[in-house]
A and B are shown apart, each in its own frame.
Chain A
């Protein structure tokens, strides 16, 4: 049996918004019946578009917000049943990294207080031992120990995210949940943070849960992926299987929508005169997914994707499909998954890089590794 570090059982979360003298309250069913198991040591990704409930799910997993129903089990203990005191103690083992490093750091605290707080609270450190530990953490995430007495506004976005990571690591967690941890960053900075997270995971034996909308980041980092649509998981699979044999029509549409950074990528076919389907209408295979994401305040009945799905039938409009295992390790919530075009045909196709480009990337990689290992500049004749 695989070692499960975190398990969600039939999680639901409803939010009530509005409501007052003139307005009727609306209920948003942000997460509707999510069950999943995260294996110790893996990187698990949750992907979906705005309003799909992925951020709510991430918070539910660490009980940063309470579920409306359902439960979360960490190492076999039911988090939702823990008294606040025990929950606080357990928080040392599970930490959260937010998307926006600008708003998740207190602007009036210096870096050593920000990073030191979990050390004081969870480990009871103080004085020189605390300072040494803070310095060690800052070094670990690629900052300089001299930065400890600075304030967050003195740092760039990437450096702030490093501070957030140092703070998350301070209490010695086993599980890190990152809600879009790199999506607010420029691509070169994003690469630094992705590499850092992967190094930390390997060195410290962490389990990572990453919420993201960028499928390239997910393919790079994740071992398994859950695809969410309007509060529900529609497909869950090993990363390679998801990209090479996507099953759910929504997953396929997501893959088709990714702009491929290579000429001759996604849109290289014959010029589209009307390839795009009208909102809600049927669409030919290979088309761009039409329509907007329905409001989570009024999700469609039955399968929530049926309003945009080219394969929907009357059954889809009335009966929600269960998330069922279709091949070992792959779960799909679709009535018609078996009748869809073959999964391999829906695989993401990316043209290979040219040999000339490959050769230069290799030069760049070699040169940057050289300059990382030496502080001196190579000199030329």
Chain B
């Protein structure tokens, strides 16, 4: 759709010395003004995907082996570095988890925000400073004018993240990528930052790609969700569909392993084992080695991402589970091969 600010199609990324593509055919798209949350656990490839979009993958060790990344109709993968640098911080911006390591400790935060403005607009130093102050007020920095001249170490974690947001949004980007922006923050501060991001996104109309492992944050901020596991999107769709009718066993396992904030509901569900290492990646569905519903066919083929009419897509041969599970137990022939130990390094 031409309305999409960002489209990623069939992205594959391989790290040097590894036998398989870590990112294995990821497709995503985000329309203007919408929020897509990419959710998954460590090593699922959610951060690598976002770095690929920003053109920030380490060139020596990671290669995009296939796929297309289109940003406002422009193919990013073919762009020279100088053109990418003009886009980054300007029409597409990124916020990282730990604001302390993203800010330069020897410049004041005001200088750093102003620099981002000058780099891309070429305005005067005074105008850039004015813009920085305006942004500080918009992100509700307490005592905004005074904070402009302070250094990152003088600010709290929540205030540093406000600086990052001010810097990222100063040039009114069409796309904002936020990688676990509230994970390092306390819960009351997280609530402030999430509310701020929603409000600013609405005002500016930015498309937001949010990377998180926290399903609570997803429910709060997402319009659409993509669940990733071991470098593939296993389920995606509108946020209500994902929560109200989860299809993929990994999504179920992930949701079920969260303690219910509504109160104890028996033992937590678990996903046995661990994410497979690249050297032992299952040939078919990458979740098959840990999936309680897996059948031999799951090992034989990569399940395609099947999209329903409501935009809800899943990559599971066994979905919908209620149609498939139960019937195969009538014979009760447990002659399948032993699957313990596989993938659980």
- Check A219–B216 contact: CB distance below 8 A: no
Docked complex Cα distance between A354 and B271 (Å): 22
- Chain B residue at minimal CB-CB distance from A376: B334
Report the stretch among B16-24, B106-114, B293-301 that lies at the interface.
B293-301
A371 contacts the other chain (CB 8 A): yes
- Chain A residue at minimal CB-CB distance from B341: A375
Docked complex Cα distance between A7 and B159 (Å): 38
B residues 201-229 touching A (CB-CB < 8 Å)? 202, 213-221
Docked complex Cα distance between A156 and B344 (Å): 10
Contact of B190 among A219, A257, A263, A353 (CB under 8 A): A257
- Check B253–A261 contact: CB distance below 8 A: no
- Check A259–B219 contact: CB distance below 8 A: yes
- Chain B residue at minimal CB-CB distance from A351: B262
A186 contacts the other chain (CB 8 A): yes
Cβ distance A30 to chain B, nearest Cβ, rounded Å: 16
Cβ distance A192 to chain B, nearest Cβ, rounded Å: 5
Range class of the A interface residue count: 35 or more
In this complex, how many residues of chain B approach chain A with their Cβ under 8 Å: the count is 81
Residues of A within 8 A of B274 (CB): 156, 158, 189
- Chain A residue at minimal CB-CB distance from B334: A376
Contact of B216 among A260, A291, A361, A368 (CB under 8 A): A260
A327 contacts the other chain (CB 8 A): no
- Check A364–B256 contact: CB distance below 8 A: yes
Residues of A within 8 A of B83 (CB): none
A87 contacts the other chain (CB 8 A): no
A6 contacts the other chain (CB 8 A): no
- Chain B residue at minimal CB-CB distance from A182: B259
Contact of B191 among A195, A257, A348, A359 (CB under 8 A): A257
Q: A188-B257, A266-B220, A378-B334 are in contact. Are A213 and B192 (CB under 8 A)?
A: no
A residues 147-170 touching B (CB-CB < 8 Å)? 156, 158
Q: Most chain-B Cβ atoms within 10 A of its Cβ — which of A49, A191, A240, A377?
A: A377
- Check A216–B259 contact: CB distance below 8 A: yes
Docked complex Cα distance between A307 and B130 (Å): 30
Residues of B within 8 A of A192 (CB): 257, 270
How many A-B residue contacts, CB cutoff 8 Å? 241
Docked complex Cα distance between A377 and B252 (Å): 19
Cβ distance A244 to chain B, nearest Cβ, rounded Å: 9
A220 contacts the other chain (CB 8 A): yes
B45 contacts the other chain (CB 8 A): no
Cβ distance A287 to chain B, nearest Cβ, rounded Å: 10
Docked complex Cα distance between A371 and B41 (Å): 23
- Check A364–B216 contact: CB distance below 8 A: no
B140 contacts the other chain (CB 8 A): yes
Cβ distance A221 to chain B, nearest Cβ, rounded Å: 8
B residues 290-345 touching A (CB-CB < 8 Å)? 292-297, 321-322, 324-325, 327-329, 331, 333-340, 345
Docked complex Cα distance between A371 and B291 (Å): 9
Contact of B295 among A49, A158, A289, A380 (CB under 8 A): A380
Docked complex Cα distance between A172 and B258 (Å): 30
Report the stretch among B4-12, B60-68, B94-102, B237-245 that lies at the interface.
B237-245
Q: A188-B257, A259-B220 are in contact. Are A267 and B296 (CB under 8 A)?
A: no
13 A–B contacts, CB within 8 A, in A order = A195-B267, A265-B216, A271-B202, A278-B140, A279-B140, A288-B191, A353-B244, A363-B293, A364-B321, A379-B295, A379-B328, A380-B295, A380-B296
Q: A261-B261, A357-B246, A360-B322 are in contact. List 17 more A-B contacts (CB 8 A).
A: A50-B186, A189-B274, A194-B268, A215-B261, A261-B243, A261-B255, A263-B219, A354-B243, A354-B244, A364-B256, A364-B293, A365-B269, A367-B292, A377-B296, A379-B336, A380-B328, A381-B328
Closest A-B pairs by Cβ, 7 of them = A259-B216, A191-B257, A220-B259, A377-B336, A367-B292, A380-B328, A49-B186
**Residues in chain B within 8 A of chain A (CB atoms):** 41-42, 140, 142, 156-159, 186-192, 194-196, 198-199, 202, 213-221, 239-240, 243-247, 249, 252-264, 267-272, 274, 292-297, 321-322, 324-325, 327-329, 331, 333-340, 345
**Residues in chain A within 8 A of chain B (CB atoms):** 49-50, 156, 158, 186-192, 194-195, 198, 213-217, 219-221, 240, 243, 253-254, 256-263, 265-267, 271-273, 275-276, 278-280, 288-293, 348, 350, 352-354, 356-357, 359-361, 363-365, 367-368, 370-372, 374-381
